[in-house]
Amino acid sequence: MSDKTYQHIDLHTHSTASDGKLSPTELVTLAHQEGVEMLALTDHDTIAGLPEARQVAASLGVNLVSGCELSVAWKKIPLHMVALGFDENCPRMAAWTQRNQSVRLERGRQIADLLRKKGLPDLFDKAVAEAGQSQLGRPHFAKVMVQEGIVKDANKAFDHYLGNKKLGQIRDVWPQLEEIVPDLVTTGCELVMAHPKRYPLTVTKLKSVLQDFKAYGGSAIEVASGNERPDYVRFLERLSREFEFKASAGSDYHGPFGPWTQVGRYTQIHEQEISPIWYQW
């Protein structure tokens, strides 16, 4: 793959297996139409969409890299970590995704309880039904609130009820970096710190996170994720060199609507100045 430029690569996407808008089949087909030659499906805390995606990718000639975006924590600060290139039958990956799915369900119960305290009916069961096979999250509560006539649209649901400041502190018991990273490193997969500039961290704290991540066995950071500011991408490229991380990139595509860029699209990177993780595949 060393003769390929980054525009043909997308190592961060989502399908209906988590909170994406397209099925794995639709996502891979769209990626192929957009000229993506190497794709990673990285649904939140699940690998359920990978078998379908792999079958379609094989028929279209798309190189599908197994992926999953895992919810983790560093000193009680929630972060996201993308695992790439693992065996889809790996028992360790299955164990961590199942654990996180349990956390997501408990989080949903906490959200439902907080909404009831605000005078709303208990929406938990309807939100679970709305989620179906995907991972339960606030968007599913928003859809139910629209269906029930509580709010006009999903934006109003977040503005009045589901925004971080509206919900207050939700206790998420995500796995700590020091427990999950060393365990998954033994499987031979690549562990990537996702979109490092999106976290509420100072530069000093971000460097502390990356230092620990590296020490535990993390191998890469995303230098570009969707339509990030170019100066952020340059900064992350510098950090990848400073910490000797491999560099990953992806659209973080969720669907055709909203703030997401198209699959295969993200802020331009300087490929010659980084160590692209995708060369190995």
**Same-domain status, 64 and 126:** no
Residue 161: partners with Cβ closer than 8 Å, 6 or more residues away: 115, 118, 120, 141, 145, 151, 167
**Same-domain status, 77 and 112:** no
**Same-domain status, 196 and 275:** yes
How far apart CA 183 and CA 217 sit, in angstroms, is 9
Strands of the chain, DSSP E: 9-13, 38-41, 63-74, 77-84, 190-193, 220-225, 246-250
| Residue type at position 168 | G
> What pLDDT score does 2 carry?
35
**Same-domain status, 91 and 151:** no
Structural domain ending residue among the three candidates 167, 199, 219: 167
Q: Is residue 1 part of a domain?
A: no
How far apart CA 122 and CA 197 sit, in angstroms, is 36
Q: Is residue 38 part of a domain?
A: yes
- For the chain (281 residues), the mean pLDDT of every run of 10, in chain order, is 61 93 96 97 96 98 98 93 96 96 90 93 94 82 95 91 76 88 96 96 97 98 94 97 98 82 91 93 94
**Same-domain status, 185 and 268:** yes
**Same-domain status, 68 and 193:** yes
**Same-domain status, 249 and 143:** no
**Same-domain status, 187 and 262:** yes
Structural domain ending residue among the three candidates 167, 190, 212: 167
**Same-domain status, 156 and 128:** yes
Q: Is residue 243 part of a domain?
A: yes
**Same-domain status, 182 and 273:** yes
Between helix 24-33 and helix 50-60 the angle, nearest 10°, is 30
**Same-domain status, 201 and 254:** yes
Structural domain ending residue among the three candidates 167, 198, 227: 167
Determine the distance from the C-alpha atom of residue 281 to the mean position of all C-alpha atoms in its chain, rounded to a whole number.
20
> What pLDDT score does 19 carry?
86
How far apart CA 109 and CA 87 sit, in angstroms, is 32
CATH number at residue 162: 1.10.150.650
**Same-domain status, 206 and 80:** yes
CA distances from 29 to 62, 87, 118 (A): 9, 23, 43
Task: Give the range of the structural domain holding residue 113, as residue numbers without chain letter.
Answer: 99-167
Query: What's this model's pTM, rounded to 2 decimal places?
Result: 0.89
Tokens of 226: 């969707």
The domain tally of the chain equals: 2
> What pLDDT score does 138 carry?
85
